[in-house]
Structures are given as structure tokens and as C-alpha cells.
Amino acid sequence: MSVTAAEGFVAAGCHAGVKRRRYDMALLATDDGKPVPAAAVFTQNKFFAPPVDVSRSRLQANGGRASAVIVNSGNANAGTGPAGKADAEAMCAAAGEALGVSAEHVLVCSTGIIGTPLPIEKILAATPKLAKKLSKEGGEDAARGILTTDHKSKEVLVEGPGFTLGGMAKGCGMIAPNMATMLAFLTTDAAVEAEEMQAILRDASDRTFNTLNVDGATSTNDTVILLASGRRGRPDLAAFANAVHKACEDLTLQMARDAEGMTKMVELRVTGAASDAEARAAAKNIAENNLVKCSWYGGDPYWGRLLAAAGSSGVAFEAEKTSVSYGGITVSRAGTNFDHDADAVAAHMKQERIEIEVALGLGQGSARVVGIDLGPGYIKENSKTS
């Protein structure tokens, strides 16, 4: 019950009929219906879905307060125009009525296929039933209700000094820096103001969710929401920020491990760049390069592909100052081969988690990206999605 582990929260999940058989709706709410401080980070895609517009507008209008979040999976309600926004508003209204709270304090999220109208009648019919199922034990069902092509639920629990932080997330494809086709919901019983949480959540997202790059695609619906009941009083703010970061990091790695077709998870670091921004640009270009990703799938330490991707990323680059290492073993220096223990590198490449550093030798800039390989599983999944 990770997302309901903190005092003051209940949740539920159900099958409404958006999908054929699996759970496709979730509801997260305060146990007394009262609005609590809320913070959120949304997609940076300008082609954002109506639920993003509705939730963002609500938080701006009410000063960062929420009593509940209603979610459907299987349909993103994106690319659906004014009708899609009306459907998102209707979901908030239905949840508010079922819970006896103001619709202005209900947030909404959707995830799934783009460009298809919501089966709104099924969703509205299921909402009262979903509200009646709300319980402290409903976190696991809620975590199931938000999944799309995920193979497993993603939950996290962090016990801080004097507070609890729990969460759930979904996401395994269409994932790039600046979040992804991912939703994440965090709850805490710490007493933290919305403005404080917003800064903490933004920083944690930048260092975790925004480092994950599965396929270079930034979704229309990305949303991370943090709610605080305040039931256990004021926390040490630094300890709370560390807990939020820890929870987001855990969920990020769970998404990476569950990525569509994934067989290798790669922690890629670009160091020695002219600036952090240039390091991020180089890391992104490397992690999204299909030749690089295929070499990861094959367990091939093909450092030339890494440097080629870095060199074409538009950042400052001088081959004679570079070096590349796999698992801490240098395989290339000054833009050419470097004598190394090939057996040790091969053994590292067989692991599920690979560590790579590309050092540019030009400055102090650095960046980290979590990427995955590219193999038949990803192609199979995404050739039939729509």
C-alpha cells in the first residue's frame, strides 16, 4: 500500500471498460475529503493533453490544493480538442460528486493511446463505484489501474525521520528527458507547504525522471503529483527533500527496468563538457542513437559509436581530449583505441546494468542519463500500439 502508506490517504482501482479486461482506472484521495497542499510537474511538450491543461489550471487557480486525483489508463485523452477538455472536466466533476468535494480540488490524469476520444460514459459510470472502493489497502489496485504497456506495477515507500512518503508510477515507453509517457503520484504525511514542495519536486524530477531516456520521445501527458496531508507535523526540510529524491529515483529505475523490450539498462555519464547544458545535450544524443542502443543490446563495447554521437550533438568536441570507459575500464583515449582488459569489459557488458562514461576533457560540465538498449522487443511492442 505504498501510495496510501502515509497517514491521510486512501486509494482504489477498478476495471471500467476502457481496456478489455485489465484495470484501467484509479482514484487517490484524502481520507476526509479535505484539500491538502499539492505540487505537480507536467510535460514540457507543447502538444499537451487536456488532462494536463485541466490539472495545471486547477493548481494555479486554487494555490496548490487538492483533495483527489482521478486517473484513467488505456486512452490518453490527447489530441482530442475541446471535447477532450470537456471530458477531463467531467471526470473531475464526477469524482468530486462521488467524494462530496469541490471539483476544483480534483486533479485528473490520463494515459494511453493518442487521438482517440475517451469512452467517457464508461468512465463516469465507474467513478461512483471506484469512490466506494476507496481504502487504506487500495494502493495496490490503484497502482494497477494506471498501467498501460507496463509489465508490472511500480510502487515505492520511504520512511523519513518523523514522516512517511509513498508513491506509485507507470511508464515503460515513449520516455525521454523531460519525463515521458509516465505518471507518478506521491503522498506524504509531512506538513509541507505547496510552494516548498513545488521546488523540491521540480529538483527531484530534474535529477531522476528527467534523466531517463528510453526512446527519445516526450509524451503529451507526463505528470508527477505530490500531496501532503500534514498529519505528522513539520519535517526537517532537507530530510524531506532527500526522501522525495530517493522515491523518484527508485521509481525512475523501476521504469527503466520495465522499459518496452529492455534487456540492458545503461547509466551513461558525460563528463568534462564545456558546461552542464552541453553535457546533457551530448548524453541525450548518445542515449537516443539507435546504433549505440543496438550495440548495448548486443553487448558490444563499440566506443566509436559513442564518440560519433557525442561529436554530432553540436557541443564543443575535440577528439584528442576524449576518453571512454565501460564499467570503469578505459577502452578509448584521444579518439582511438586504448589497451585494456577485453575480457573484463565483455563481462561487464553481459550484466543487465551497464555503466559508461564519455569524458570530453574540455571543462567541468557533467550529466547523467539512464538509457536502455534497442532490440526486437521494443519494435514488436511499438509496431502494434495503435
The overall average pLDDT reported for the chain is: 92
Res 376: pLDDT: 72
Res 380: pLDDT: 64
Res 262: pLDDT: 72
Q: Which three cell numbers stand for residue 88?
A: 477531463
Domains annotated on the chain, with CATH: 2-257 (3.60.70.12), 265-382 (3.10.20.340)
Res 180: pLDDT: 42
Distance, C-alpha 105 to centroid of its chain? 23
Q: pLDDT digits over 119-149, tens only?
A: 999 999 999 999 999 999 999 999 999 998 7
**Catalytic one of 111, 149, 164, 181:** 181
Measured CA to CA, the distance from residue 140 to residue 161 in angstroms comes to 25
148 an active-site residue?
no
Q: Confirm if 71 and 27 have CB atoms less than 8 A apart.
A: yes
Res 260: pLDDT: 62
Residue 174 has pLDDT above 50, yes or no: no
Q: Confirm if 3 and 143 have CB atoms less than 8 A apart.
A: yes
Q: pLDDT digits over 199-238, tens only?
A: 999 999 988 888 776 544 567 899 999 999 999 999 999 9
Dmax (CA) for the chain in angstroms is 69
Res 208: pLDDT: 86
Task: Give the lowest-confidence range in 55-69, 85-99, 256-270.
Answer: 256-270
Question: For 314-326, what is the mean pLDDT?
Answer: 97
Question: For 89-118, what is the mean pLDDT?
Answer: 96
Residue in the block written with cell 528527467: 210
**For residue 46, what is the enclosing H or E element?**
none
Confidence of residue 288 (pLDDT cuts 50, 70, 90): confident
Q: Is the dihedral of CA 6, 12, 18, 22 positive or negative?
A: positive
pTM of structure: 0.81
Measured CA to CA, the distance from residue 199 to residue 322 in angstroms comes to 36
Distance, C-alpha 19 to centroid of its chain? 22
Q: Is the dihedral of CA 276, 277, 282, 287 positive or negative?
A: positive
Q: Which three cell numbers stand for residue 340?
A: 585494456
Confidence of residue 16 (pLDDT cuts 50, 70, 90): very high
